[in-house]
Amino acid sequence: MLVVRPSTFVDLTGIERLLNDTDARVTTLPKERDKLSEKISESDDGFRSGIDGDGPASFLFVLEDTDTGELHGTSGIDTEAGNGYPFFNYRLDEIVHASHHLNISSKVPVLFLSHELTGRTLLRSFSIDPQMRDTDGFDLLSRARFMYMAANPDRFNQEIIVEIQGIFDDKGVCPFWDAVGRRFFDLDFLTADYYCSVKSKTFMSELIPQHPVYVPLLPEEAAANIAQNHAAANRTCQLLYREGFHKSKFIDPFDGGPVLKGQLKYTHTYSNIRFKNAKPSEVIGGMKYLISNQSAHNFRCAITTLVDGIGDSIRIPLDVAHALNIREGDQVAYSPL
Amino acid sequence: MYIRPVQHSDLDALCVLAKNSGVGVTSLPDNKQKMAAKLEHSLASFEKTIPEPERLYLFALVDEENDEVAGICALEASIGHEDVWYNYHVGKSVHASRDIGVHKVTKTLYLSNDLTGCSEIATLFLMPDYRKDQNGQLLSRSRYMFLAEFPELFGPEIIAEMRGYSDDNGDSPFWESLGRHFFQMEFSDADYLTGLGNKVFIAELMPKFPIYVPMLSPEAQAVIGKVHPQTEPALAMLKSEGFDFNGYIDIFDGGPSVSVKVKDIRAVKESHVYLAGISEKTPAPNYNEKHGLLLVCNRKLNDYRVILVNKGAAGDDTLWLTQKQADILNIKEGDTVRAVALRPTEAS
């Protein structure tokens, strides 16, 4: 059975293998073992602090097949984008250059560096085994995060943001980066990306030019890539759009990828959640649901079929109850898949 | 040939000059009404009926043989008063991190009004037929004599804006890469509007935030601070008087601004006051001898005159002029005149 749970140090090699297998860039998960273990340690602290914690926390989840013990993906949440430091984006704005006298008016798109999204809830670190991309496992891994937030709503800012990978090619050539960042860093995109993961994105962002960037001054290709996602992120975008996310005015300052925004309580998963007392039993059939326990530090989320009735309790299959560490009478949360 | 302030009767001649000047000489509008206003402005300036910072002094180069106006030049007392004066300051931004071994200096253009209040060496145009016999030198350098004589009418610092690079079609790479994006207009049209006194309106349409130079086209980057090939001689002349690039460029064509302190101008520093003497034996000017000529001006504001004379005319305290030269300068024997070598002595 596929289960999403908090990462632990035991997952280190599994995550490493996964990162080497996935094509997608995951800036927030470094491939270096030391750095990765630091991330897991941070996440561990986060889960331990549970709902009582304050200050920024980072949660890292893994998708595990409990039958084989194999890891198939990672996903994460930062309670505060920037983790207490500035979180950088470009905001795509417009300036009207007009003269009454000359009867001229034209709108000029301009990119402004912005910290506005600092402190929002940030979904991040999503990586999945390519074989799982087109399965329910994809939904489970991504949406389990909403289930976790539902179990601990006070821990999270209502506004959720997701940075979507921008456009770059197989060789790591990123037109937006070449037109903007590269002129100030003298580093190619992959090297800059590497530093983002081993130093921090904030660290790198502080080197980004502070003055606004006039979009018409960028090469056409770079300008056209603003707020466009990498093809590898199509599925992620579709899922998030279904959840109720939309493209914001913000883009990633490195690759120009879009930042999607959503409100926790209006997300499809969250708004359809129901809470009931579990009644483990032999059940068959029904509709597919995401289901999770209500533990802040020992969170588990899986997919199951349920038949939802009108009472305060709900029957759940025994193997699911076991996988979620649920006993009779424990509260569970479930939301239609 | 002599220099005098422009007069009412010069209007038609000035319009002919403007028609001939074409794109690039922005302060000569090919528009009679505008030209008339400019003329009035100059007359009021010499008469001191308008406040000092607003004054504009226009001078004509006149052929005494036929009274034809062969050229025009100007001095602006103080820029940026009626209108706002814009330049880009060519500055730097540094992006550095020791940690990752990055240290990058990026040329950055900052929109500024820094040159507000400077005096300006403005318009100069000489009709093609008269581009000989040191007429260009006389026309241009006569202004330094005016500055030497009446420094109190000007600011401590004087600038000249040099026409920036444009190609044979009149296209400016700097304009194409920058200004063009902010309103759809040909450089020549923008230039025309500028000449009509609309420079400030156009300037208001230009980007207000700093521009990172590497974001401009390589062609545009290459012409920042570069003058039009036809302006090279004018630049050389200004440099020989002590002017130098001051780090500011034109916001439209990227042409350089050059400046100098008025008191440090070669002609101002080296000019002397002489007593005028009349002698028909004084040697005639030889225009082929570049270093054998003196600029001589009378010391009258309203009836200002400048001519070229032979270097041999200067004695220790007296400058010897023929009666005709004295008449052109509108002086009598015993009046004082100011004189300086037309060119710096060192071959620069």
Query: Residue A112 is encoded by which pair of tokens?
Result: 């402004």
Query: Residue B263 is encoded by which pair of tokens?
Result: 């008191």
Question: CA nearest B27: which of B184, B160, B146?
Answer: B160
Q: Which of A174-178, A206-210, B235-239, B335-339 has the lowest mean pLDDT?
A: A206-210
Catalytic residue among A97, A230, A297, A322: A230
Torsional sign, CA B142, B143, B145, B146: positive
CA dist B218 to A40, B213, B221, B226, B257, Å?
47, 9, 5, 14, 21
What pLDDT is attached to residue A50?
64
Query: Residue B252 is encoded by which pair of tokens?
Result: 């439209």
Contact indicator for B202, B194 with CB cutoff of 8 Å:
yes
DSSP letter for B244, please. E
DSSP letter for B113, please. -
Q: Give the separation between CA B199 and CA B26, rounded to whole angstroms.
A: 9
What pLDDT is attached to residue B226?
95
Question: CA nearest B140: which of B279, B347, B342?
Answer: B342
Question: CA nearest B187: which of B207, B204, B164, B210?
Answer: B164
Question: Inter-axis angle of helices A33-49 and A12-21, to 10 degrees?
Answer: 120
Confidence of residue A38 (pLDDT cuts 50, 70, 90): confident
Closest residue of chain A to B97, computed from CA coordinates: A207
Question: CA nearest B172: which of B181, B162, B180, B184?
Answer: B180
Confidence of residue A27 (pLDDT cuts 50, 70, 90): low
The residues, any chain, with a CB within 8 Å of residue A13's CB and separated by 6 or more, are: none
Q: Which of A95-99, A178-182, B40-44 has the lowest mean pLDDT?
A: A95-99
Burial class (CB in 10 A: 0-12, 13-18, 19+), B89: middle
Query: Per-block average pLDDT, block size 10, for chain B (348 residues)?
Result: 94 87 63 88 94 93 92 92 88 84 88 93 87 90 95 94 88 90 73 67 82 94 94 90 95 94 94 92 87 93 94 90 94 93 75
Per-domain boundaries in chain B:
1-78+122-155, 82-116+157-262, 271-348
pLDDT digit string, tens, across residues A109-151: 999 999 999 999 999 989 888 888 889 999 999 999 999 999 8
A99 near B CB under 8 A: yes
B106 near A CB under 8 A: yes
pLDDT digit string, tens, across residues B249-289: 999 899 999 999 999 999 999 999 999 999 988 898 888 88
Catalytic residue among B41, B89, B228, B272: B228
Q: How far is B210 from chain A (nearest CA, A)?
A: 6
B121: helix, strand or coil? strand
Give the CA-trace dihedral at B132, B292, B66, B25, to 10 degrees: 50
A194: helix, strand or coil? helix
Query: Residue B54 is encoded by which pair of tokens?
Result: 């607003």
Q: Give the separation between CA B274 and CA A103, rounded to whole angstroms.
A: 56
Rg (CA), chain A: 21
pLDDT digit string, tens, across residues B216-245: 999 999 999 999 998 898 899 999 999 999
Backbone angles phi, psi at A300, to 5 degrees: -140, 140
What pLDDT is attached to residue B26?
53
Backbone angles phi, psi at A122, to 5 degrees: -120, 125
Q: How far is A27 from chain B (nearest CA, A)?
A: 17
Q: Closest to B204 (Cβ–Cβ): which among A99, A184, A211?
A: A99
Q: What is the mean pLDDT of chain B?
A: 89
Walk me through the domains of chain A, giving residue ranges and CATH numbers. Answer: 85-118+158-271 (no CATH), 273-336 (2.40.40.20)
Q: What is the mean pLDDT of chain A?
A: 89
B45: helix, strand or coil? helix
Question: Inter-axis angle of helices A234-243 and A136-151, to 10 degrees?
Answer: 40
Residue A169 host element (H or E): none
Identity of the residue numbered A238? Q
A219 near B CB under 8 A: no
Question: CA nearest B161: which of B122, B202, B190?
Answer: B122
Give the A:B interface size as CB pairs under 8 Å: 81
DSSP letter for A117, please. T
pLDDT at A233 over 60: yes
CA dist B163 to A86, A305, B124, B260, Å?
45, 78, 11, 18
B138 CB neighbour count, 10 Å cutoff? 23
Please state whether beta strands B272-278 and B318-321 pair in parallel, antiparallel, or not at all (unpaired).
Answer: parallel
pTM value > 0.90:
no
Q: Closest to B95 (Cβ–Cβ): which among A179, A185, A214?
A: A185
Contacts with A184 from chain B: Cβ below 8 Å? 95, 104, 106, 212
Mutation to test the A interface, candidates B97, B107, B192, most A Cβ within 10 Å = B97
Backbone angles phi, psi at B152, to 5 degrees: -65, -15
Task: Provide the CATH topology of domain B1-78+122-155.
Answer: Aminopeptidase (3.40.630)
Q: What is the DSSP string of B222-234?
A: HTTTPBPGGGHHH
B257 near A CB under 8 A: no
What pLDDT is attached to residue A24?
54
Under CATH, which number does the domain B271-348 receive?
Answer: 2.40.40.20
Q: Closest to B181 (Cβ–Cβ): which among A210, A212, A216?
A: A216
A220 near B CB under 8 A: no
Residue A230 annotated to the active site: yes
Q: What is the DSSP string of A239-296?
A: HHHHHT-EEEEEE-TTT--EEEEEEGGGSHHHHT-EEEEEEEE-----EEEEEE---S
Flag if A186 and B177 touch (Cβ within 8 Å): no
pLDDT digit string, tens, across residues B20-50: 876 545 567 777 888 899 999 999 999 999 9
Contact indicator for B47, B302 with CB cutoff of 8 Å:
yes
B189 near A CB under 8 A: no
What pLDDT is attached to residue B23?
53
What pLDDT is attached to residue B268?
94
B184 near A CB under 8 A: yes
Flag if A185 and B183 touch (Cβ within 8 Å): no
Mutation to test the B interface, candidates A93, A94, A104, most B Cβ within 10 Å = A104
Q: Closest to B182 (Cβ–Cβ): which among A106, A195, A211?
A: A106
B201 near A CB under 8 A: yes
Kindly give the residue spans of alpha helices, DSSP state H, lying in chain A: 12-21, 33-49, 136-151, 175-179, 182-185, 189-198, 201-205, 220-224, 234-243, 268-271, 318-323
Please state whether beta strands B87-97 and A121-128 pair in parallel, antiparallel, or not at all (unpaired).
Answer: unpaired
Backbone angles phi, psi at A128, to 5 degrees: -140, 145
What is the distance in angstroms between the CA of the first residue and the CA of the last residue of chain B? 25
What pLDDT is attached to residue A282?
86
Please state whether beta strands A121-128 and A159-163 pair in parallel, antiparallel, or not at all (unpaired).
Answer: parallel
What pLDDT is attached to residue B348?
43
Torsional sign, CA B2, B3, B6, B7: negative
Q: Give the separation between CA B133 and CA A242, rounded to whole angstroms.
A: 82
Closest residue of chain B to A104, computed from CA coordinates: B183
Helix-then-strand count for chain A, H and E: 11, 15
> Which tops the pLDDT comparison, A194 or B294?
B294
B139 CB neighbour count, 10 Å cutoff? 23
What pLDDT is attached to residue B25?
55
Kindly give the residue spans of alpha helices, DSSP state H, lying in chain B: 11-21, 32-46, 135-149, 173-177, 187-193, 199-205, 218-222, 232-240, 266-270, 323-329
Query: Residue B213 is encoded by which pair of tokens?
Result: 């130079």
